Every structure is written in structure tokens, then in C-alpha cells.
Structure 1
Amino acid sequence: METRVLASHIPLPLADRLDETAAQLGISRDTIVSEAVAAWLDNQEERRLTALGTMAGAIVVVERHRVRDWADSL
């Protein structure tokens, strides 16, 4: 898989936690960051799909003649 280098500024306490976790798990920071970004993107996609599903469930279809009848009654 091709990769691309991305740079990000993160607070020092978070960077320290990242370093500690990488050392404890014996994996690279890059692996942790890649997995975290993938998980975040998956979460955002799930939230988007949930929101779309909620909106689709809220759509009410009204027959055209009923709308005309209502408009005529005004």
C-alpha cells in the first residue's frame, strides 16, 4: 500500500501518552496514529449514515391530491 506523510501538531501531554503507549505495546507511533485515524473516519461515516437514516425515517410522503385539497381549503 502506498503511504503519504502527514504532519500534525498535537499537545505535548497527548504526544507523551502516544510515546508511552507505543513503547508499552511495542508498536510504532505511526501504527497507532494510522489506526486512530481509520477508527475516527469509520466513526464519522457511521454517524453520517445514522443521521441520514434518521432523516429518511422522518420523511412523510403526502399524495399530491391531498396537498391540492389542503391548498384549496385555505
Structure 2
Amino acid sequence: MATRVLTAHVPIDLAEKVDAAAERLDRPRAWIVKQALKTWLIEEERRHQLILEGLADIDAGRTVSHEDMQAWAASLGSDNPKPRPR
């Protein structure tokens, strides 16, 4: 697999945490950084997809009014919670 070097300046406390994780896991620092970056990118892609899905819902008119949501949320701690707005 071809690779490319990326350089980043990170706060000292974060670098120290990477060092500690590398030592604890008996892995190189580069491995820790690659794992962290891979995980973050997967999570960021998922967030992006959820945003696109939400925007598509808005475009399609699948929304709930703010007032209905507030009334539902306010009822959650009561003896008579309202059904989730649709």
C-alpha cells in the first residue's frame, strides 16, 4: 500500500497521551495516530450522511413544528407523556 506523510502540530498534552497509548499498547505512535484518524474519519462521514438525510427530510417537508417538539419534551417527565410528534 502506498503511503504519504502528513505532519501536524499538536498540543503537548495530546502528544503525551499518544505516547502513553503507544507504550501501553506496545504499538508505534504512527499506528495510534492512524487508528485515531481512521476512526474520526468514519465518524465524520457518518455525521455528514446524517446531515444530508436531515436536509433531504426538510426538502421533502418531513418536519415537526418547534412547538410540537417543545410540548412533547415537556411532557416526558410527567405522568401523561405525549406520543412522539410525527
Once the two structures are aligned, what percentage of the paired residues are identical?
Answer: 36
Find the residue that maps to 2:38 and give its secondary structure.
helix
TM-score by length of 1: 0.75
The match for 2:29 is 29
Which amino acid in 1 is paired with 2:32? I
The match for 1:14 is 14
Runs of 4+ in 1 over 3 A off after TM superposition: none
Query: Which sections of structure 1, spanning at least 5 residues, go unmatched?
Result: 62-74
The reply to whether residue 47 of structure 1 matches residue 47 of structure 2 is: yes
The two structures, once aligned, show a CA RMSD in angstroms of 1.3
**CA–CA distance in 2 between the matches of 1:31 and 1:45?**
21
Larger Rg: 1
Query: Which sections of structure 2, spanning at least 5 residues, go unmatched?
Result: 62-86
TM-score by length of 2: 0.65
**CA–CA distance in 2 between the matches of 1:60 and 1:44?**
24
